Amino acid sequence: MIRSLTKLYDRLDQIDGVIRALRGDVSRLENHLGPPAPTDPFSEVAGVRRLFVRAVFALIEAVVEQHKLLLLDLVECAVISLGDGVAQTLSEKKYFYLSLRQKIQTVYEAAGAAFEQPIDPLGDGHGWQAFESATGIRNHITHPKSFEQCLITFPELETVKDAEKWFRAVNAGFVSVAGQHRDSHSNWFRPT
């Protein structure tokens, strides 16, 4: 049991590796976003901007999923408990799927309750608004109704960057709270 619990919390290091790899993609693309107002949706700059938005969302989705899986594994090992139905909701079994927005709210509210320290993904509201707007931007390049929707403006790029910055803060809150929980229960990890 001690070894398996240690492995679970070691997942925080794995999550950090995922973040570094995917954040590296975001950073490399960010250096090639081009001039403030490209007008050609077929240009290399327009393509890089679309890739940048997709890379930001790949980062957010991967990290939220990893945090969710860590919570579920900690519940399974009886290290934490979640409120009625929360673990079932997070497991997304059979015909039940959480949108990214719902998953973020559910994962971080559950983590705050389980680790007995709040993690407020909504914060002051500005980051959450940026995330919601960035989601709309991602949606219109993923499912464009016209080729003009394949263009991403400079203000839209700034919105996506704000959403990514907000999510980095949410992730940092999760890692801090999970680490504190692990440290406060370190006697669980020591062999007797």
154 alpha carbon, distance to own chain's centre: 23
pLDDT tens readout for residues 33-51: 987 776 788 888 899 999 9
Q: Is pLDDT above 70 for 189? A: no
Question: How far is CA 61 from each of CA 18, 28, 98, 102, 123, rounded to the nearest angstrom?
Answer: 11, 19, 12, 12, 19
pLDDT at 62 exceeding the cut of 50? yes
Please tell me the total count of domains within the chain.
1
Print the domain residue range for 172.
2-188
pLDDT tens-digit readout, 129-178: 999 999 999 999 999 998 888 899 999 999 999 999 999 999 999 988 88
Q: How many Å is the Cα radius of gyration of the chain?
A: 19
Residue 98, pLDDT above cutoff 90: no
Angle at 164 between CA 160 and CA 167, to 5 degrees: 140
